[in-house]
Structure 1
Amino acid sequence: MLMKEGEVASQSIKDEQVKRLFDLGAHFGYAKESRHPSTKPFLFGLKNKTVMIDLEKTAESLEGAKTFVRALGVAKKNLIFVGNKKEAGLVIQEAAESVDLPYVTERWIGGTLTNFKEIRKRIDRLVDLRDQEAKGELIKYTKKERSVIAKEVSDLDRYFNSLIGLTKLPGAIFVIDPKKEAIAVAEAVKSKVPVIALANSDCNLAGVDYPIVANDANRQVIKFIAEALAKAYAEGLKEGEAQTAAVTPNVATPTPPTAAV
């Protein structure tokens, strides 16, 4: 059966993506002994006792996740990027910041999703203290008190600065290694927040709505996936703005009356 033009283009993109993932080393899983049963549908086989990941499945999963993230962008819903393993931190930060999205690259603070009201109070406290500092209002405190406040600002900044733009529960979270970020995934499930995850062969995919099975210990793979999702979100934002502009009526500027001569 001959493929239609659109199907050919789609297959070409998929083939190119599979090659790119292969070149980056995305197909390397962990040892057979550490394989989690839930990842079996995404695996290809074994090589020297190392699990090989089926990159065609990875590419398909990535496209599904991108479609979902694009819809988040259209709806202007936040997506939190989460990854505090050493390979992920800077990559996650750069990808999230490129589309002005919140991120967590330090330890996940318990309650970030399940007790968001309290977390928001701490974020607001950080914003307030910064505002006071900018206005020179902290000068009224003693040197010792200012030292205590500076320590508080430093601690709050470390964990909450990247979440300042988060005013309500996000539309989804994207985690690097759901095994390492188990608390974040559990909170998302409890809060009914969809989970996208870059996961290796040792991860339990239960609770993950959009699993992207690939080598999650490879910085370049993480970068490729994170940037692909950030780009999809940006495309969604642009599409949403275009839709809004299309339904917004153009109100003509009234012509002023001609002055009587």
Structure 2
Amino acid sequence: MALPNYTMKELLEAGIHFGHQLNRWNPKMESYLFGERNGIHIIDLQQTYPLIQNALKVIRDIAAGGGRVLFVGTKRQAQKIIAESAINSGQYFMNHRWLGGTLTNWKTISKSIVRLKNYDEILNKEDSGLTKKELVGIQRQRDKLEASLGGIKDMGGLPDALFVIDTNKEHIAIKEANVLKIPVIAVIDSNSNPDGVDFPIPGNDDATRAISLYCRLMSESILDGLQVSFSESGKDIGASDQIKEELNITDKSDESVESDDKNIESKDDSNKEVSLEKENKDIDIAKESINESEDVSVSDNKEADK
């Protein structure tokens, strides 16, 4: 597979070129702006197109190397899209509220994740031994943790890259990633601050269609990288000595099973023969006893006649 395809027409139809009003712009974004129209800044798609391509290559390489990507988008119109895209690509997401220290204080966050999993275990038990009031309290705490940490509870460690929608709203996440030298891929609008973003994507970060397009492209590129890593690992596994040893072990086990079956069959046959012999002996004994009784009765009759 190759990187996902997209055209300039798709970018225009999604409204990626629309920025914010002139009085809301960030001067640091001047180099990414094409001009203004009807009091709104227009983003230069001639720059956006190759920058998206560059970001997709980076995210695919990270996924191909077994890296984890964290989707971050807590604004209302991005929450559902972010969650669906991350789940579809097997990655992780934060779409409710960014908790300060999520990256830089991972030990504390991981303890909260453990508590969330413990709550899940308690609520899934049929007989937990708790009262209804206690279960309701645990359910409330669990729902709060699920909203904040549900998207990263299976991440198992720090991510290898961040994909961010709206750098203004998620500036804390970007700062934490910069401290830990985690690469940041982010959509930057005309009012955004591009500082701290390693792979910027100039474009509209408010329109639902634009956010859907960004997330779809990222998700497909991650899946492409995962497919590459699976295919490469498949070749290595097929040629490895470990698999050959496992195959030999299974062959030996099959042979031993066959020999055991033969031994069992031979034992069954011998048991059958022994049981037949016993039955024949019993029959012979019964016949002898019958003959003896007949002889006794005949002799008794002869004596009576005399």
Residue correspondences, number = 244
* Alpha-carbon distance in 1 for matches of 2:56, 2:84: 18
Give the counterpart of 2:156 among 147, 150, 167: 167
Q: Does residue 1:204 correspond to 2:204, yes or no? A: no
SS across alignment from 1:88: helix
User: SS of the counterpart of 2:55?
Assistant: helix
Give distance in 2, aligned partners of 1:209 and 1:168. Answer: 21
2:34 is paired with a residue whose SS is strand
Q: CA deviation at 1:230?
A: 0.6
**d(CA) in 2 for partners of 1:224, 1:150:** 36
Residue pair 2:104, 2:176 contacting (<8 A) in 1 also: yes
In the TM superposition, what is the alpha-carbon distance from 1:50 to its structure 2 partner? 1.4
Does residue 235 of structure 2 align to residue 246 of structure 1? Answer: yes
- Counterpart residue identity of residue 85, structure 1: K
Shift of 1:142: 3.4
Alpha-carbon displacement from aligned partner over 1:129-178 (angstroms, at most 9, x marks no partner): 2122223353x233333232222112111111111121111011111100
CA displacement, residues 4-58 of structure 1 (integer Å, 9 cap, x when unaligned): xxxxxx9xx6xx5211101121111112222212222221111123111111211
1:216 aligns with 2:232: no
Partner residue of 1:136 out of 126, 129, 136: 126
Secondary structure of 1:87's aligned partner: helix
Corresponding residue for residue 50 of structure 2: 60
Contact 2:35–2:41 under 8 Å retained in 1: yes
Q: Is the 8 A contact 2:123 2:135 kept in 1?
A: no
Secondary structure, counterpart of 1:162 in structure 2: coil
Contact preservation (8 Å) 2:70, 2:161: yes
1:209-260 deviation per Cα after TM superposition (whole angstroms, max 9, x unaligned): 1111111111000000111001000000000111112222154545778x9x
Question: 4+ residue stretches of structure 1 with deviation over 6 A?
Answer: none
TM-score (norm 2): 0.75
Deviations 1:53-108 (A, max 9, x none): 11121111111110011011111211111111122111111111111211111111
2:50 is aligned with 1:50: no
1:108 correspondence with 2:98: yes
User: What's 1:3 paired with?
Assistant: none
Q: How far apart in 1 are the matches of 2:34 and 2:52? A: 17
Cα deviation, residue 112, structure 1: 0.7
CA distance in 2, matches of 1:96, 1:41: 31
- Which one of 156, 159, 164 corresponds to residue 145 of structure 2? 156
SS at match of 2:186: strand
CA-to-aligned-CA distance 1:183-234 (integer Å, 9 cap, x gap): 1111111122111111211100000011111111110000001110010000
In the alignment, structure 1 residue 35 sits paired with structure 2 residue 25: yes
Structure 2 counterpart of 1:51, which letter?
Answer: H
CA distance in 2: counterparts of 1:137 and 1:233, whole angstroms:
42
The range that moved more, 227-236 or 28-37, is 28-37
Alignment equivalent of 2:170, drawn from 155, 175, 181: 181
Decide which of 182, 187, 190 is 1:193's aligned counterpart: 182
Identity across the alignment (%): 31
Greater per-residue helix proportion: 2
Higher RCO, 1 vs 2 (CA within 8 Å, ≥6 residues apart): 1
1:89 aligns to 2:71 (yes or no)? no
Gaps of 5+ in 2: 259-306
Aligned to 2:215: 226
Distance 1:207 1:196, change over 3 A: same
Q: Which shifted more, 184-193 or 245-254? A: 245-254
Q: Which has the larger radius of gyration?
A: 2
Distance 1:76 1:239 in 2: 10
Distance between the aligned counterparts of 1:17 and 1:119, measured in 2? 40
- Hey, what's the Cα distance between the residues in 1 that align with 2:143 and 2:89? 25
Maintained 8 Å contact 2:69/2:92: yes
CA distance in 2, matches of 1:226, 1:143: 41
The CA distance in 2 between the partners of 1:210 and 1:134, in whole Å, is: 42
| Secondary structure, counterpart of 1:235 in structure 2 | helix
Report the residue type matching 2:207 in the other structure.
N
What residue number does 2:66 align with?
76
**Aligned partners of 2:69 and 2:163 also within 8 Å:** yes
